[in-house]
């Protein structure tokens, strides 16, 4: 236990140091990126699928999957390399980190090859040259002409995107509000929190043609070519892979595949999406969300409980230098975990540990939440053990029972009964807090609802649905926990 | 009387600066019933708890069956504790288990006795303390007197050589004291070696082989009950007896 804890702390320190280093320094001189991809037979593409027609979720043959012109580009590159394309969804902010930490092989997400990004990743040639538009409410048509009409108003753009930076730079007297997903931005627009949303022209067209309440105006941003073009990003230093991908990209440009094939195909998917936007139609998506939410919660409570028992025993260790060290380490762990946001812990486990072992998102989420929950449960258990009368221990010891047996058969069962309400509370909190893992692309309920929102262009209905679903889950859980609490009462 | 089963040599116990036991050297022979009496705060309970090492003595020896407990490792202490049953003022029954489970737990977990044998033995002991009809009850449903009799049965289930009683009737309503004392008296008549800390002078008079009078961290007097109650030697004992026996 002690050794493991020391190792964990050393690991954390190494990661903190390593993280800073890897993001700036180039990869090793020998570039085997192309050979590596060909050897494993798959090309993993990272994308943020809430940006039609570039990439978005659609139901194809009854299954929800990521489609759009960027996916077509990805497929073409994979096909030309002779490997299979795997699409991984995550938030736009996380894409480049995922690329740098090897979670994905490439990023295609309508990404502009800006000089700042070029410092950290390598880009292919441009596969599409777009431009910016601003989406507004149809009723406001005539009030707003272009980017300069929003003095004293608020416009929105996707956080981490070029539009966000340019909107900040090229407007004056206008508030620029960043949000992670475009669906949220559109919702903000429709609820009049925003007066306009800056986005790529094809996206704007997609939204406007699918939502009769919206209209689009030209942005008139002064832009360099790199700001409006979209390129494929690869990890820094993967020259061979970039060169291979460039062949595909050049073909795409030469044959104008984007305008001829990819965009029309994406448009078709968009139409099928909006044919039936009732929430009932998306029950499968919600069911999958519930399934993952429950998997994460149950696993995390289970492992968190085991960790919590060990930590609480370590915190109460008595006698000797070893016990003191153990106590100190456990206390430090609990304080540290309680003192840092769970969201940061989730990202750290997924991206940070990802530098050493490549953990899938779901497993990373479960690990991070278990580690977090363990710290809280440890405190409950410690309180529970202290609440058991000392006479119980004395009686057990006087019967010749060892301290281990005493803990296991006499103290812990009583402690558990005392802390059952707190544990139940933790379980219910976790059902809700597990939503944090949506940031690393685990398809739990929040993540799924975001997909449904961008699929259907309906902002509020999916939120209402998951609110009810969360309540059903927590309420059922609390009924079940109450049942066991009653069963444990002997008095 | 045969060889001593417990021998205490120069026992002292401090709690911080507070010296509770100063210098105690006494012995208990097999089959003897010792009653320890004395004013509150004189260290009687601490003394008793030093005998099975629930309190670790500051200095001195506690020899049990010829072995000095203070020099043994934890594992050996656990084994020797099995042979010293202890009954507490507050019963300390395990509230999450039935009466039967309370009695069976240690024999099964510590001695590895089978469930069937442990159950059989538990029922015998419950008959002995006249509570067999309460085998499946939970401790919270028992009266104080019943709970204490279960606690005695639980201690006896380990077949101890010595029974230690720490004020076993002090937490009981007066009408329940008798049933517990009767069980203890039966036990004494069966030849059990017992060390009893109590304020029940009647019990001391009728059951004890020796009375130890304890005050100020010392055993002030060690005498037969007849001699002690009729003719206390020390001023401290005379003073104590004058206060409790009008």
**Closest in B82, B88, B138 to A394, CB measured:** B88
- Give the model's confidence band at A14: pLDDT under 50 very low, under 70 low, under 90 confident, else very high: low
Among B50, B103, B110, most A C-beta atoms within 10 A, so best to mutate, is B110
Residue A165 has pLDDT above 90, yes or no: no
Token pair for A277: 């936007």
Q: Please report the pLDDT score of residue A64 as a whole number.
A: 75
d(CA B244, CA B241): 5
CB contact under 8 A, A391 and B155: no
CB A55 within 8 A of CB A66: yes
- pLDDT < 70 stretches in chain B: 1-2, 245-246
User: Hey, what are A381's tokens?
Assistant: 């258990």
Taking the Cβ of residue A404 and every Cβ of chain B, the question of whether any pair is shorter than 8 Å is answered with: no
pLDDT of residue A23: 44
Q: Closest partner residue to B106 among A400, A414, A491, by Cβ? A: A400
**Chain B contacts of A402, Cβ < 8 Å?**
74-75, 78, 110
> Are the Cβ atoms of A394 and B54 closer than 8 angstroms?
yes
| DSSP string computed for A232-290 | EEEETT-HHHHHHHHHHHHHHHHTTHIIIIIHHHHHHHHHHHHH---GGGGHHHHHHHH
Question: Is A400's CB within 8 Å of B158's CB?
Answer: yes
- Quote the pLDDT of residue A384: 94
Q: Which of A400, A410, A488 sits opposite B94 (nearest CB)?
A: A410
pLDDT, residue A223, reads 79
- For B163, name the nearest residue in chain A, comparing CA atoms only: A398
pLDDT at B210 (0 to 100): 95
**A335–chain B Cβ distance below 8 A for any pair:** no
Q: What is the pLDDT of residues A366-417, one digit of tens each?
A: 999 999 999 999 999 999 999 999 999 999 999 999 989 999 999 999 999 9
- CA–CA separation, A304 and A319 (whole Å): 26
- The H or E element containing residue A111 is none
Range A280-490 classified under CATH 3.40.50.620: no
CA neighbor of A145 nearest in space, from A200, A87, A220, A257: A220
Express each pLDDT in A330-343 by its tens digit: 999 999 999 999 99
Q: pLDDT by residue (tens digit) across A214-260?
A: 899 988 888 777 777 889 999 998 999 999 999 999 999 999 888 88
Chain A residues inside the 8 Å CB shell of B154: 399
How close does chain B come to A384, measured CA to CA in Å? 14
**Are A399 and B88 a contacting pair at CB < 8 A?**
no
Confidence of residue A83 (pLDDT cuts 50, 70, 90): very high
Taking the C-alpha atoms of residue B5 and residue B32, their distance in angstroms, rounded to an integer, is 10
Which of B52, B90, B110 faces A401 most closely, judged by CB atoms? B110
Q: Cβ–Cβ of B106/A391 closer than 8 Å? A: no
- The reply to whether A391 touches chain B by the CB within 8 Å rule is yes
A269-to-A53, A185, A258, A260, A264 alpha-carbon distances in Å = 9, 22, 15, 15, 9
Cis before A341? omega within 30? no
Find the mean pLDDT for residues A287-294: 92
Contact B92 A394 (CB under 8 A): yes
pLDDT digits 0-9 by tens, A199-208: 888 888 888 8
Rounded Cα distance, B186 and A83, in Å: 88
CATH of domain A31-127+232-273: 3.40.190.10
Give the bridge partners for A198, in sequence order. A134
Residue A18's pLDDT is what?
52
> How much is the pLDDT for A358?
77
Under a CB-based contact definition with an 8 Å cutoff, are residues A2 and A10 in contact?
A: no
Compute chain B's Rg from CA coordinates.
Answer: 18
- Confidence at A312, pLDDT banded by 50, 70, 90: very high
Residues of B within 8 A of A392 (CB-CB) are: 92, 94
How large is the greatest C-alpha to C-alpha distance in chain B, in angstroms?
Answer: 56
Residues of A in contact with B54 (CB under 8 A): 394, 397-398
DSSP line for B140-165? GGS-HHHHHHHHHHHHHTT--SEEEE
- State residue A376's pLDDT score: 94
A402 touches chain B (CB under 8 A): yes
What is the Rg, in whole angstroms, of the alpha carbon atoms belonging to chain A? 26
pLDDT at res. B1: 46
- From A418's Cα to the closest Cα of chain B, the distance in A is 11
Note the pLDDT tens digit of each residue in A20-42: 444 444 444 468 888 899 999 99
Token digits of residue B93: 């029954």
Q: Answer whether A165's CB lies under 8 Å from A224's CB.
A: no
Nearest to A76 by CA among A205, A323, A244: A244
pLDDT for the residue numbered A359: 82
- pLDDT at position A372 is 95
Q: Nearest-CA distance from B149 to chain A in Å?
A: 14
Do residues A57 and A64 lie in contact, with contact meaning Cβ atoms separated by under 8 Å? yes
User: Is pLDDT at A6 greater than 60 in this prediction?
Assistant: no
Q: Give the highest mean pLDDT range of A97-101, A360-364, A397-401.
A: A397-401
Contacting residues of B for A411, CB less than 8 Å apart = none
Residue A439 — pLDDT band, cuts 50, 70, 90? confident
Non-local (6+) Cβ contacts of A456 within 8 A are A273, A274, A277, A282, A462
Asked if A419 is an interface residue toward chain B (Cβ–Cβ < 8 A), one would say no
Sign, CA dihedral B29-B35-B38-B43, equals positive
Neighboring chain B residues of A397 at a CB cutoff of 8 Å: 54, 78, 81
Burial of A349 (0-12, 13-18, 19+ CB in 10 A): buried
Nearest CA in chain B to A488: B96
pLDDT of residue A209: 78
Substitution target from A390, A399, A414, A491 for chain B, most B beta carbons within 10 A: A399
Minimum distance, in Å, between the CA of residue A331 and any CA atom of chain B: 27
Closest Cα to residue A294, out of A422, A426, A423, A432? A432
C-beta atoms of B138 and A402 within 8 A: no
Residue with token string 């077949």: B159
Is this complex's ipTM strictly greater than 0.85? yes
The confidence score (pLDDT) of residue A276 equals 67
CA distance B239 to B215: 11
* B218, B42 contact by CB (below 8 A): no
How far apart, in whole angstroms, are the C-alpha atoms of residue A58 and residue B130? 76
Cα–Cα nearest to A53, from A229, A264, A213: A264
First to last CA, chain A: 38
> Are A397 and B95 an interchain contact pair (Cβ–Cβ within 8 Å)?
no
Asked whether the CA dihedral B177, B183, B189, B192 is positive or negative, the reply is: negative
Q: How far B86 CA sits from the closest chain A CA (Å)?
A: 6
Hey, is the C-beta of A410 within 8 angstroms of any chain B C-beta? yes
Which chain B residues have any C-beta within 8 angstroms of a chain A C-beta?
52, 54, 74-75, 78-79, 81-86, 88, 90, 92-96, 105-106, 109-110, 138, 140-141, 151, 154-155, 158, 164
CB-CB: which of B78, B88, B164 is closest to A400? B78
Q: At what angle do helices B99-110 and B74-82 cross, to 10 degrees?
A: 130
pLDDT in tens, B160-187: 999 999 999 999 999 999 999 999 999 9
The number of C-beta contacts closer than 8 angstroms across A and B is: 76
User: pLDDT averaged over chain A?
Assistant: 86
From the list A394, A409, A417, the residue facing B105 with the nearest CB is A409
Indicate if the pLDDT at residue A9 is higher than 80: no
Contact A37, A241 (CB under 8 A): yes
| Cα separations in angstroms, A11 against A1, A5, A8, A24, A342 | 15, 10, 5, 20, 19
Average pLDDT over every residue of A279-299: 89
In Å, how far are A50, A131, A197, A241, B107 from A463, measured between CA atoms?
Answer: 16, 31, 21, 41, 58
Multiple choice CATH, A132-227, 2.60.40.10, 3.40.190.10, 3.40.50.300, 3.40.50.1100: 3.40.190.10
The burial of A98, by beta-carbon neighbours within 10 Å (0-12 exposed, 13-18 middle, 19 or more buried), is given as buried
Query: Would you say A249 and A144 are in contact if contact means Cβ atoms under 8 Å apart?
Result: no
Of A391, A397, A410, the CB nearest to B90: A391
Nearest to B97 by CA among B154, B160, B165: B154
What is the pairing mode between strands A132-137 and A154-158? unpaired
pTM reported for the whole predicted model = 0.72
Among A297, A425, A283, which Cα is nearest to A362's?
A: A297
Span A411-435, average pLDDT = 91
């Amino acid at each position: 236990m002690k050794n493991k804890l020391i190792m964990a702390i050393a690991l954390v320190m190494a990661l903190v140091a390593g993280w800073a280093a890897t993001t700036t320094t180039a990869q090793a001189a020998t570039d085997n990126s192309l050979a590596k991809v060909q050897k494993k037979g798959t090309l993993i593409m990272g994308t943020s699928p809430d940006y039609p027609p570039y990439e978005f979720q659609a139901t194809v043959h009854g299954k929800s999957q990521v489609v759009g012109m960027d996916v077509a580009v990805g497929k073409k590159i994979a096909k030309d390399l002779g490997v299979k394309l795997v699409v991984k969804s995550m938030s736009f902010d996380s894409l480049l980190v995922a690329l740098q930490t090897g979670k994905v092989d490439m990023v295609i997400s309508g990404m502009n090859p800006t000089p700042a990004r070029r410092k950290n990743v390598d880009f292919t040639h441009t596969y599409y040259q777009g431009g910016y538009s601003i989406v507004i409410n149809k009723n406001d048509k005539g009030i707003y002409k272009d980017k300069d009409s929003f003095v004293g108003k608020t416009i929105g753009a996707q956080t981490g995107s070029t539009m966000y930076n340019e909107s900040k730079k090229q407007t004056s007297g206008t508030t620029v509000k960043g949000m992670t997903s475009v669906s949220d931005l559109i919702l903000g627009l429709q609820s009049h929190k925003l007066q306009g949303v800056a986005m790529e022209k094809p996206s704007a067209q997609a939204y406007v043609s699918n939502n009769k309440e919206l209209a689009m105006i030209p942005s008139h941003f002064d832009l360099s070519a790199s700001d409006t073009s979209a390129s494929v990003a690869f990890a820094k230093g993967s020259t061979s892979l970039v060169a291979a991908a460039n062949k595909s990209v050049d073909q795409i440009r030469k044959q104008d595949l984007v305008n001829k094939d990819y965009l029309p195909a994406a448009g078709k998917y968009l139409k099928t999406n909006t044919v039936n936007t009732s929430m009932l139609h998306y029950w499968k998506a919600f069911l999958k969300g519930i399934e993952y939410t429950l998997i994460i919660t149950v696993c995390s409570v289970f492992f968190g409980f085991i960790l919590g028992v060990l930590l609480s025993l370590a915190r109460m260790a008595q006698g000797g230098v070893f016990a003191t060290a153990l106590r100190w380490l456990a206390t430090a762990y609990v304080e540290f975990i309680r003192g840092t946001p769970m969201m940061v812990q989730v990202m750290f486990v997924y991206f940070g540990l990802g530098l050493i072992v490549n953990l899938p998102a779901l497993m990373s989420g479960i690990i991070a939440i278990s580690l977090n929950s363990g710290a809280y449960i440890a405190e409950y258990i410690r309180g529970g053990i202290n609440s058991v009368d000392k006479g119980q221990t004395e009686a057990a010891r006087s019967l010749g029972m060892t301290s281990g047996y005493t803990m296991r058969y006499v103290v812990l069962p009583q402690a558990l009964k005392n802390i059952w309400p707190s544990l139940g509370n933790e379980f219910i909190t976790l059902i809700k807090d597990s939503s944090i893992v949506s940031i690393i692309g685990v398809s739990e309920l929040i993540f799924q609802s975001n997909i449904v929102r961008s699929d259907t262009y309906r902002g509020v209905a999916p939120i209402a649905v998951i609110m009810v679903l969360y309540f059903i889950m927590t309420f059922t859980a609390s009924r079940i926990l109450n049942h066991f609490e009653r069963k444990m009462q002997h008095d | 009387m045969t060889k001593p089963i417990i021998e205490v040599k120069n026992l002292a116990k401090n709690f911080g600066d507070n010296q509770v036991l100063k210098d105690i050297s006494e012995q208990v022979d097999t089959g003897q019933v010792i009653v320890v009496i004395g004013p509150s705060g004189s260290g009687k309970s601490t003394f008793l708890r030093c005998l099975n090492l629930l309190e670790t003595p500051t200095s001195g020896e506690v020899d049990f069956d010829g072995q000095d407990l203070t020099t043994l490792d934890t594992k050996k202490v656990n084994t020797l504790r099995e042979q010293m049953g202890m009954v507490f003022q507050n019963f300390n029954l395990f509230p999450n288990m039935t009466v039967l489970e309370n009695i069976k737990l240690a024999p099964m977990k510590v001695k590895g006795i089978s469930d069937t044998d442990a159950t059989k033995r538990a029922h015998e002991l419950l008959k002995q303390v006249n509570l067999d009809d309460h085998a499946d009850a939970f401790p919270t449903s028992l009266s104080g007197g019943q709970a204490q009799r279960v606690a005695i049965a639980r201690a006896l289930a380990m077949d101890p050589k010595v029974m230690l009683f720490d004020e076993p009737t002090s937490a009981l309503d007066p009408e329940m004291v008798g049933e517990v004392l009767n069980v203890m008296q039966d036990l004494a008549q069966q030849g059990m070696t017992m060390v009893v800390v109590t304020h029940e002078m009647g019990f001391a008079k009728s059951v004890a082989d020796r009375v130890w009078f304890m005050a100020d961290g010392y055993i002030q007097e060690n005498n037969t009950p007849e001699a002690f109650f009729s003719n206390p030697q020390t001023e401290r004992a005379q003073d104590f007896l004058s206060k409790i026996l009008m």
